[in-house]
Structure 1
Amino acid sequence: MAQKMALGFYSTDPSRHTLAEDSQGLICGALISALGFYLLNRVGLLTGGTAGVAFLLHYAFNISFGLLFFIVNLPFYWLSFKRLGFAFTAKTFIAIGLVSIMTELEQRYLLIGYLHPFWGALMGGLLLGFGLLALYRHRASLGGVGILAIYVQERFGIQAGLIQLAFDACVMAAAFLLLEPGIVLWSIVGAVVLNLFLAINHRSDRYIVVR
């Protein structure tokens, strides 16, 4: 059945999106998420998921975060394709690519003279929450750990939430080996802000949730 559009832009069916709607959703979600990553990076913080791994490698080896974020997610795309389908995988690939590029561009066009770690954690977490909500609404995501967690749950019966929590705990534990304890604690604050925001504002029965 043909998808009806209003004003040639948005779908009259609330359960479906036009190409234009998906495009603006992915771009806006990626832009907001990239800004959240930029604020965290500006004060040396990190977060959970594959982004947390990219941050750790970035701080340890001084390699571009955007490049690392793109590379770290590569192993999960096949699993995403098998479990969640081509459309979700393709849009997630695009979103991650956009974030990787935008985080590099922001360093050239956005300069912040001073940012307190608390404010970086708070605003970074909130911006990532807003960005992820936009991406979830358009059936996309920013990471592969959630996909792996779903696979482990289906294969071995271990709850996906516990897998995600254990992975994030490992990321934060590894951070204590590279970063000052205070920085890691502020990072945990940012991660809590992000997850509380998503828990309050996101319904998993309405949108796909994979971080």
Structure 2
Amino acid sequence: MTTTTGQLIDKDGKDALYPTVKHTVLEDIYAFAIGCSFIALGIVMLKTAGLTTGGVAGIALLVSYVAPLPVGVLFILINIPFFLFAWPAMGKRFMIKTVIVNLAIMGMASYAPYAFKLESLNPLFAALFGGTIIGMGILALARHGAGAGGTGVLALYLQKTKNINAGKTQLACDALIMATSILILNPHQLLFSVISAAAMSGVMVGFHKPERYLGR
């Protein structure tokens, strides 16, 4: 059958040319490895430049400048309350995957100083590249039914239960993180941190469009 837009659909109402196909376990594992690596590397780059970003990655970075704990450990500790939102917001499967990838991110970020040394980075490069690869990492996880936890899960939860737009919630959370950063970072660091948050969000806005994505 053909729709008014020329799209072919089968008798069940699904796209006949591009049927939805679930990812295999190996595909999920590969995507998680890539996503976690990107997020961990982005966090290390921003930490080296003394910057922060949006989401829980930004909160963990900000706290790491005042608390004597590795940013990878802070990342998962801060995420623990948000795991409680993952189940009602996205389901048990999503929550389990999210916990697994968060443990992986913590491990990678904690091991990074033993794997390579970043003594200094241009703050603009760190903001743009670090924020972008964190966004790409989050995107890879989202495409395979997992998340980096944190404010993204909270946004989905509020949208589902309170009908509050998830995008507005995420924007409000990032704005709050940046506002809090004023107390810890200098104006120069704050400016580049805002750029980093924008770069990370830009990836999700530009590429995370479920209606364009056929796998799940």
Shared fold (TM-score, shorter chain, > 0.5):
yes
2:155 aligned partner, one-letter code: A
Residue 211 of structure 2 aligns to a residue whose secondary structure is coil
Deviation at 1:188, TM superposition (A): 0.6
2-structure distance, mates of 1:133, 1:83: 18
Give the superposition deviation at 1:104.
1.0
Q: Which one-letter code corresponds to 1:45 in the other structure?
A: L
Question: Which residue in 1 is equivalent to 2:33?
Answer: 27
Shift of the 113–55 alpha-carbon distance from structure 1 to 2, 3 Å rule, reads closer
Q: Give the Cα separation in 1 of the matches to 2:31 and 2:102.
A: 13
What is the root-mean-square deviation in Å for CA atoms of aligned residues?
1.6
Residue 122 of structure 1, CA deviation: 1.2
| Partners of 1:14 and 1:156 in 2: CA distance | 30
- Give a deviation string over 1:149-186, Cα, whole Å, max 9, x none: 22223333332211111111111111110111110110
- The 1:155–1:86 alpha-carbon spacing in structure 2 relative to 1, beyond 3 Å, is closer
Residue ranges of structure 1 left out of the alignment (5+ in a row): 1-12
Q: 3-state SS of the aligned residue for 1:177? A: coil
Q: Choose 1 or 2 for highest CA Rg.
A: 2
Q: After the TM superposition, which of the residue ranges 63-72 and 105-114 deviates more from structure 2?
A: 105-114
User: Equivalents in 1 of 2:169, 2:66: separation in Å?
Assistant: 25
Provide the C-alpha distance between the structure 1 equivalents of 2:158 and 2:93, rounded to a whole number of angstroms: 22
Contact kept, 8 Å, 1:145 with 1:164, in 2: the verdict is yes
More displaced, 36-45 or 56-65? 56-65
1:205 aligns with 2:216: no
Aligned residue for 2:172? 166
- 1:65 is the counterpart of 2:35: no
SS at match of 1:61: coil
SS of the residue 1:179 aligns to = coil
For residues 49-97 of structure 1, the C-alpha deviation after alignment (integer angstroms, 9 at most, x for no partner) is 1222211211111311111100111112122112211111111111111
* Residue from 115, 118, 123 that aligns with 1:112: 118
- Give the one of 165, 171, 190 matched to 2:196: 190
How far apart in 2 are the matches of 1:55 and 1:71?
12
1:101-142 CA-to-partner distances (Å, cap 9, x unmatched) read 101111111112331101111110121122122111211111
Q: Which residue is equivalent to 2:47?
A: 41
Secondary structure of 1:113's match?
coil
Q: Name the structure 1 match of 2:100.
A: 94
Q: C-alpha distance in 1, partners of 2:50/2:20?
A: 40
Does the 8 A contact of 1:51 with 1:143 survive in 2?
no
Residue pair 2:159, 2:165 contacting (<8 A) in 1 also: yes
Structure 1 position 125 matched with structure 2 position 125 = no
